[in-house]
Amino acid sequence: MRKLILMSILLLSISKSFAQNQILTVEEDQDYLFIGVENRIQFSDPNVKQADIVASCNAVAGATITANDNNFDVRVTSLTEGSELCSISFKNKKTGVLLKKMDFQVRRIPSPVVCLSNKRSDGMISSGEMKIQQGLFVIMGDLFIKDCCSVQNFTLTFTGPGQNPVTFENNGAKFEDGALRLIQLARPGAIYQFSNVRGRCPGDSVSRQMNGMSFTVR
């Protein structure tokens, strides 16, 4: 009977804190891993007890593997260079037989999208809707995960109708008191601009530039 190597996608919950471990699933045809997070691979062989399957990786990418039931969490701590790959081998620990070898490139988590809590990043907004906003949020649309990256700081500029712009430097994603006071001034014709938005994703050694936003109150 031909061996069947089973790879499947397992949708997992994502930690809400940047400081905690983030877990992403690895699809069957995926040939890359994300740096700085737990990349979860589900691997099994019907002819080998799960407890007898061990996984190892080359040291090129600075990767570690942790077994969790029939899941293997792979964390890569540095980017590979040139043609070097992160190679993961699954073996039968009793016989030493190689069951599967998988080669992956290592990538940074792609740039996320910064938005308000209504998941909008620009356009017209009502005064009532603006006044209930509490801060900036980060979404990772194509990865179907939430709270993987976080906003570190940004500049909020409020321009009321016929008034000069007022600027506030906000630390963190949540609106500080100065930003909240400007948010409560929302009225038709007012313009809110969010610029110099910087944030961090798992694996980032320094903050990265994120998208800015502009809203006009209708």
Q: Quick: pLDDT tens for 4-45.
A: 322 222 222 222 233 334 566 787 778 888 887 888 898 889
Q: Are strands 191-200 and 213-217 parallel, antiparallel or unpaired?
A: antiparallel
The whole model's pTM is what? 0.65
Tokens, residue 133: 């906003």
The mean predicted confidence, pLDDT, of the chain is 81
Q: Are strands 150-159 and 166-171 parallel, antiparallel or unpaired?
A: antiparallel
Phi, psi of 145 (to 5 degrees): -130, 160
pLDDT value of residue 12: 25
Domains along the chain with CATH numbers: 6-107 (2.60.40.1080), 113-217 (no CATH)
Query: 90-106 as b/e, with b when 16 or more CB fall inside 10 Å?
Result: bbbeeeeeebeebebeb
Over 80: is that where the pLDDT of 70 sits? no
Question: Is 159:33 a contact under the CB 8 Å cutoff?
Answer: no
Helix H or strand E segment including 128 = helix 127-131
Tokens, residue 47: 């002819």
3-state secondary structure of 120: coil
pLDDT (tens digit per residue) in 146-201:
457 889 999 999 999 999 999 999 999 999 999 999 999 999 999 999 999 999 88
pLDDT (tens digit per residue) in 79-137:
656 556 788 999 999 999 999 998 888 887 777 889 998 888 889 999 999 999 999 98
Cross-sheet strand order for the sheet of 98-107:
32-34, 98-107, 86-92, 53-57
Q: Which residues contact 84 (CB under 8 A, 6 or more apart)?
A: 60, 61
pLDDT value of residue 80: 57
Question: Is 34:166 a contact under the CB 8 Å cutoff?
Answer: no
